[in-house]
Structure 1
Amino acid sequence: MATVAATGIFSERSIRRARLGSGLVMFVFVLLHLSNHALGLISVSAADDGRRIFLAIWRNPVGTLVFYTAVLTHVCLVLRAVYTRRSLVMPAGEMAQLVLGLSIPLLLMDHVIGTRIAHSLFQYRDDYETIVRLLWVTSPGAGWRQVIALLFVWTHGCIGVHFWLRYRSWYDGVAAMLLAVAILLPVLAILGFIEMGRTIAEPAYEGMVNTDRYRDNLNTRYYSNPEAQQQIAMIRAGLYGSFSGALLIVIGARTLRRWRERVDQITVRYPGGEAISVPRGFTVLEASRLGGLLHYSVCGGKGQCSTCRVQILSDGDDLPAPDKLEQSTLKRIKAASDVRLACQLRPTHDITVAPLLVAAPETTLPPNTQETSPGREREITVLFCDIRHFTSLTETRLPFDIVFLLNRYFALVGNAVEKAGGRIDKFIGDGAMALFGIGNSAEDACRQAIEAAVTIVRDIGKLDAELRDELTMPLHIAIGIHTGPAVVGTLGYGRVRSVTAIGDTVNVASRLETAAKEFNAAIVISDAVANLAGADTASVESREISVRGRALPLKVYVISSDKAADLIEGKDT
């Protein structure tokens, strides 16, 4: 059953959502701030005009409350995450995000104090002319420190957004564009800062603009009043001290907990004979990482996927019950009662587990890298095709003749699939498997698969007419098409790796190709494919077939060679 903590306002899911929400608020702030800097490529006055819009959003009472609440929430939750994480062994991307995140407050505090706090307390005018003059002319070292801080903030935010979106079905389609923006925006912002600095540093600039406002700004009570300077120094010491103290408290608490846990350890054993001793309270995934074992975890240990799942091989009756998040994931994959998520299971005693998705122990894949990811689930359409009676067709042919025939056949299949927008997955003997929908919608994928199938049937007819005098029997094709969820990822060994799909959808498509042979038909498509493609099936024969592993029969449409073209014509009308 779910624990109270898993269902209340302070559940892990709620905490993750708060961390994500606060991070997104800060990311939008940084996005707009960098865009404002980029206006410096036009002129200093253009940047100041953009600054007024920026301040209208963030320096009103509501914007101020939202932003600084987000900052405080995010910093507190990051420190909490550092404490609760039992092992600091993690993939490189997660480590980079953590290190960048902890360094950002130390890099930005002086900038915040010199702008927002000085403005609020002493009416210091923190416009672009003043701040850029300070960072480019007066204190160039501080200016380059801000450039580094800008890159750290933006990189940290982009990593977080990538981790959040990377397994959305639509993300691959926009990833290239987002990467271009992620690279271009900080470059434009830095160039804008440099251009403004060079402009203000020019001697001629003094004569081009009225710099009295800048001198007046320097003579405000912020600079001329020693008490104001002392107050700012106290604020600076307080902010740096508070953050550094909080970080030291977290480190101290982790050290104390580790010291106490040395006398209270459990052992996690694996089928290969590995035995890893970890403090009680560690997750199985943390134990695997601490021991240097390859262990899949696509979502980064957040319980949002099932790739880290393990089977409990020892007594599991008194293990902690799965919380609501883990229950939801296990229910979705219809896991057996002895299967748990390694990232959520915190054993209270010695335990033996077997990872159900085993990573290949290749020397080219270091432990805990994202390269060991098995892929992601997508909605795709799968096409299988095969030459009917191929053995009888070629039993009297010379091997070179068979190679010639297969190459002609593979060429027309590959051409039909690629022109329709799909990709050839593999050729097996005289069979072929093609995937549609890797980067587009399910509806488009189904239409593309049908279009490819119709083209294959047509071109096989042409090839049959061309080689009729050379063959002992006519060429006939059998094609099966099905759509649904499948895991798409890179599989293979060593250099022989390729993107492929596995799952029930692939198995059903293969079964439909076999059904096409049984029904002496050219194409068999499932009801789901017909509906998504909007195919005209009014005059097409429908049947129900049994599929191994499915309790209910599957409705399919059986299309002969002479009726194949009607599918596309019906769609167009």
Structure 2
Amino acid sequence: MIQNLRLYSGLTLFAYVLTHLLNHAAGIVSPEFMETAANYTTELWQFPPLEILLLVALITHFLLATARLTSRRSLRLRKSEWAQMILGLCIPFLLFRHIIATRVVDLGFNVDPAYERVLLDLAVFLPSQGLLQAITIIVVWTHGCIGIYFWLRVKPFFPKWRNVLGTLAILIPTLALAGYGAAAAEIMRRVDEGGRKYVFGVLDAANVNDAAVAFYEKALVPCMIAAILLALAPFVVRQVRQTFDRVKRGPILNLPNGRTVRVAPGATALEALRDAGIPMASVCGGHGRCTTCRLHCGSGLDQLAAPGPIEHAALKSIGAPNGMRLACQIRPQNDLAVAPLLPPNASARDGRRPGGLSGSERQVVSMFVDLRDSTRLGEMKMPYDVLFILNQFFAEMTEALRSTGGFYAQFTGDGLMALYGHQSDDTERMILNAFEGAAEMLRRIDALNEHLKSELPHTLRIGIGMHMGKAIVGEMGPPGHENISAIGDTINTAARLEAQTKGHGVPLVISKTLFDHGPIPLPDHAVLHEVALRGKDRSVAYYALETMPDLTGAMAGTDQKPAMAT
């Protein structure tokens, strides 16, 4: 409701500014033509209902805009957002003189705000004010155009009309300034020709009197102070609020990479993440329209307030599954696990795509398998021969997964990603199945080497990295081509562990977590390694193994066979 009020009040003001600038453009012809055109543009706004609407829109828009600025917990904004905010705060300071000299004096002292009289003031009596008025045209129009851009860029039709609208955004103020300049030049020419007689004739016709001039001069200083205070007030109030917030303990956002972000009381998740220096997409500027700031929420989701009307409509438009929320709309009151679902450079088009994720946060074993020396294989064999060998390799690895309850989640060129436990909550069983799957892969690669002995220029070797933890598991990918996969720190760690097999020269790198939580005994003489893996803030403990641990005792201790993948 509040965002709609701000939007519609802004559109009302923009409509007024548009008609005003079109009236200015008429000055290219003459000041008299400006006056005639005003009957069909600016004077329409003097119709009482429209004038009341304009005044209400002005007050509403200013109050809502300053309230939004005051409520911001973070000022880490994009350049376009900063530009809109700064230009908006400058508008009262730039406009108050013009409003006093025209509308206030007009109503209070019966002075006619005819264009000829106003142009005489700006071009002859106060040329510096005339320059300021030209700057005001640019500032007000730019502020409005940025707001219109934020509103329209999430619309499907916007890319088609973008160039047309951009051209109009430049052409309209250019014509307005040209008309304003041409009319001002014409007035200066008339002053040079008619002298004092012309000047006093214009002033008398407009009923400019001493009382009106005195009121204008006395009102300048207090109105200037008021305009400055209005611009500074949101920052002062915001600073006071932040001072109080520092003594309160806010909730924590837990990210997949293990990083935590504290949320200031009342702040949105988007504000907290940006304030912590974490890039987040937000095409619409945090108004809940684009869905590019979508998050998957894990533990703590049940304590979040239900989506409001704006968020509900946005999530419904993309068919968002349970657990997806918009970072710009949620204000966590308790600790919450979150994972951004779109990259920081996501576009409005990305935000219109379906949620693309139907799943939940689960405990899984993630396995990455990589075929060693595949590049050298490509150099020594013909492409079709390499394709044949790779197809044989993937067939064997897939069968190893199928027979041990694993799930083939992702193809990576010369390797694959697999999941165990994506449909089960039995931690020991998923770990045992994953170890059995790794053992089966090593057996099958040996068998494949024997079977393709005459075809291979060198022995095929694989590296396997395994890790266990929480991950978001579900359907994801391009619309119409989704597949079951997983994202999260657990997946990234498993991939990094697989890369460590090259450095250690071993086929297996298994995280300590799997041995701590599973039924598999640690091999004798196993050495614990702990390093900060590439791209991670925290270290990970793991074992680099030449051979598989003994699974005999663990398999004998259970009366279940490995679950078959479905």
Q: TM-score scaled by structure 2?
A: 0.59
Deviations 1:516-572 (A, max 9, x none): xxxxxxxxxxxxxxxxxxxxxxxxxxxxxxxxxxxxxxxxxxxxxxxxxxxxxxxxx
Question: How far apart, CA to CA, are the structure 2 residues paired with 1:235 and 1:62?
Answer: 28
| 2:236 counterpart (235, 252, 255) | 252
**Counterpart check, 1:194 vs 2:181:** yes
Question: Which amino acid letter does the alignment assign opposite residue 271 of structure 1?
Answer: P
Match of 2:202 in 1: 214
Q: Map residues 555-566 of structure 1 onto 2, 5 A cutoff.
A: none
Checking the alignment, whether the CA contact within 8 Å between 1:296 and 1:358 is kept in structure 2 is yes
Shift, 1:106, TM fit: 0.7
Match of 1:308 in 2: 293
Shift, 1:334, TM fit: 4.0
Partner SS state of residue 118, structure 2: helix
Checking the alignment, whether the CA contact within 8 Å between 1:296 and 1:374 is kept in structure 2 is no
User: What CA RMSD, in Å, does the superposition of the two structures yield over aligned residues?
Assistant: 3.1
**Counterpart check, 1:325 vs 2:313:** no
Match of 1:504 in 2: 479
Shift, 1:281, TM fit: 1.8
Partner SS state of residue 306, structure 1: coil
Shift, 1:82, TM fit: 0.9
Question: How far apart, CA to CA, are the structure 1 residues paired with 2:268 and 2:37?
Answer: 49
Q: 1:333 to 1:50 in 2, by over 3 A?
A: closer
**Counterpart check, 1:375 vs 2:350:** yes
| 1:69 counterpart (56, 75, 85) | 56
Partner SS state of residue 285, structure 2: coil
Checking the alignment, whether the CA contact within 8 Å between 1:44 and 1:128 is kept in structure 2 is yes
Q: 1:378 to 1:41 in 2, by over 3 A?
A: farther
Match of 1:539 in 2: none
Question: How far apart, CA to CA, are the structure 1 residues paired with 2:321 and 2:48?
Answer: 53
Shift, 1:243, TM fit: 4.2
Q: Map residues 35-434 of structure 1 onto 2, 5 A cutoff.
A: 35-202=22-189, 206-207=193-194, 213-217=201-205, 220-221=208-209, 224-225=210-211, 228-233=212-217, 235-237=219-221, 239-264=223-248, 265-359=250-344, 375-377=350-352
Q: 1:41 to 1:333 in 2, by over 3 A?
A: closer
Partner SS state of residue 202, structure 1: helix
Question: How far apart, CA to CA, are the structure 2 residues paired with 1:204 and 1:310?
Answer: 65
Question: How far apart, CA to CA, are the structure 1 residues paired with 2:53 and 2:297?
Answer: 45
Q: 1:237 to 1:309 in 2, by over 3 A?
A: same
Checking the alignment, whether the CA contact within 8 Å between 1:296 and 1:373 is kept in structure 2 is no
Match of 2:543 in 1: none
Checking the alignment, whether the CA contact within 8 Å between 2:9 and 2:57 is kept in structure 1 is yes
Shift, 1:247, TM fit: 4.1
Question: How far apart, CA to CA, are the structure 2 residues paired with 1:187 and 1:20?
Answer: 25
Question: How far apart, CA to CA, are the structure 2 residues paired with 1:314 and 1:124?
Answer: 66
Checking the alignment, whether the CA contact within 8 Å between 2:97 and 2:220 is kept in structure 1 is yes
Question: Which amino acid letter does the alignment assign opposite residue 180 of structure 1?
Answer: T
Q: TM-score scaled by structure 1?
A: 0.58
Checking the alignment, whether the CA contact within 8 Å between 1:48 and 1:127 is kept in structure 2 is yes
Question: Which amino acid letter does the alignment assign opposite residue 21 of structure 1?
Answer: Y
Checking the alignment, whether the CA contact within 8 Å between 2:10 and 2:57 is kept in structure 1 is yes
Shift, 1:300, TM fit: 2.1
Q: How many residues align structurally?
A: 364
Q: 1:180 to 1:308 in 2, by over 3 A?
A: same
Q: 1:374 to 1:276 in 2, by over 3 A?
A: farther
Shift, 1:218, TM fit: 7.5
Range with greater deviation from structure 2 (87-96 or 198-207): 198-207
Partner SS state of residue 82, structure 2: helix
Question: Which amino acid letter does the alignment assign opposite residue 266 of structure 1?
Answer: P
Question: How far apart, CA to CA, are the structure 2 residues paired with 1:331 and 1:31?
Answer: 35
Question: How far apart, CA to CA, are the structure 2 residues paired with 1:37 and 1:249?
Answer: 33
Checking the alignment, whether the CA contact within 8 Å between 1:169 and 1:378 is kept in structure 2 is no
Match of 1:21 in 2: 8
Question: How far apart, CA to CA, are the structure 2 residues paired with 1:282 and 1:29?
Answer: 34
Question: Which amino acid letter does the alignment assign opposite residue 309 of structure 2?
Answer: K
Question: Which amino acid letter does the alignment assign opposite residue 127 of structure 1?
Answer: A
Partner SS state of residue 86, structure 2: helix
Shift, 1:107, TM fit: 0.2
Checking the alignment, whether the CA contact within 8 Å between 2:102 and 2:113 is kept in structure 1 is yes
Q: 1:216 to 1:309 in 2, by over 3 A?
A: same
Q: 1:32 to 1:282 in 2, by over 3 A?
A: same
Q: 1:231 to 1:162 in 2, by over 3 A?
A: same
Gaps of 5+ in 1: 1-13, 360-369, 380-397, 400-501, 509-573
Q: 1:321 to 1:75 in 2, by over 3 A?
A: same
Question: Which amino acid letter does the alignment assign opposite residue 156 of structure 1?
Answer: H
Checking the alignment, whether the CA contact within 8 Å between 1:25 and 1:67 is kept in structure 2 is yes
Shift, 1:337, TM fit: 3.2
Range with greater deviation from structure 2 (70-79 or 268-277): 268-277
Question: How far apart, CA to CA, are the structure 2 residues paired with 1:329 and 1:277?
Answer: 26
Q: 1:52 to 1:330 in 2, by over 3 A?
A: closer
Range with greater deviation from structure 2 (87-96 or 307-316): 307-316
Partner SS state of residue 135, structure 1: helix
| 1:31 counterpart (2, 18, 21) | 18
Checking the alignment, whether the CA contact within 8 Å between 1:199 and 1:205 is kept in structure 2 is no
Gaps of 5+ in 2: 355-381, 384-476, 484-566
Shift, 1:23, TM fit: 0.9
Checking the alignment, whether the CA contact within 8 Å between 1:315 and 1:351 is kept in structure 2 is yes
Identity value in percent:
35
Checking the alignment, whether the CA contact within 8 Å between 1:25 and 1:70 is kept in structure 2 is yes
